[in-house]
Chain A
Amino acid sequence: MHVGRSEPLASDKENPVLIKDLRLLKIVLVQPENGGDQALRSHLERIGCHVNEIWPPPAAYAEDVDIVFVMLDRLIESRLTFNWQADDHSPVLIAVIDYENPLSIDRLLHLRVNAVIGLPIRPFGILTNLLAAVNNHRREQRLRQNLARMQAKLESCRLVERAKLAIMLTDSQSEKEAYGVLRQMAMKRRTTVDMVSGEVLSGLNWREEGVILNREE
């Protein structure tokens, strides 16, 4: 199971990533070989996670990575580029920081990190923070996906409304009849009402489609 990356669908809505899932988490630690922090790696391994270290920061991360820890101050010092897309399928990002200066704070806010751990590493609290960050990240992904679905839905509603209006105005049909035209076209073409609505608006002549209208009397 790749907890951090799994599809945030309705079916797992009620299943938070619990402590029992901890040892299934795949973790990448972005830190230089010298100047990294072995205490963090040791503790992650002690709690039973799989940890891979990588340096310099890669362009992308493997599909099954759940959490990425990045040593932010080492990154700034080395002037390396850190590629990060905080999109729907990104892993959880946790920044590890030495300094709380405006530069690094600004940088980590732009990266949209999910959590921050300060150096030196104190083992107490890492486990809890890790699980809280993974769960918050998943919740955010779920909300994002719902939002995207809602936006698409809204877009298609507007399209259908406009296509209906076009048919109503051109053929002086009722709203219900106009919708019936769209629906029959969609069935005939084995496609969706949204699709034919788009086509109607871009100039398709529905009168040639052989649609039989059931006029309401």
Chain B
Amino acid sequence: MSKRYGFVMLVYRCIDCKACQVGCWAENEVPLGKSRNWITKDGPKGKFPDLITDFLPGNCMHCGNAPCVNVCPTGASYQTEEGIVLVNKKKCIGCKYCMVACPYNARYYHPEEKTADKCTMCVHRLKEGLQPACVSTCVGGARVFGDLNDPDSQVSRLLRKHRAVVQLPQANTQPNVYYVYDSPVDKGGIAP
């Protein structure tokens, strides 16, 4: 079986430090003011002093059923065998259809390359046996990455142990990015 790469985001572990974001900016020379990944702050919810805040690390969901790929008129947006959604810069004409189609707002227009641009799972790093840049610098240990088809991978183990959800399930995009909301007390810890 081929690999299928994906992320498991451990919401409890994210401290909103944004090391992942800066790490990605450097790794991928992301144009100033654009971002391939982000943290969504959900909270504080409740009334003082009974409060909860969740931080949700995000990036392209590398959808199994990717609207961006489906609408791309040139075939520039495509999905690899391992499930990585990429943009072939040579084919991209910068029409921005994909940016409109993406329900997660994961793409931006690269002002110099004049193409759509987005998270690549740091595919160049994967080839060198490294983790994506955001994962390898994640201070809270919230971003976990690996092969979803390998039952022994960290991501698979986490998904077996915890209940996980995807963002916007109603959009039927079949994301390869999962979110675990369990707090440490639920399941005897959420260490990967």
Q: Are A and B co-members of a single complex? A: no
- Residues on A lying within 8 angstroms of B by beta carbon are none
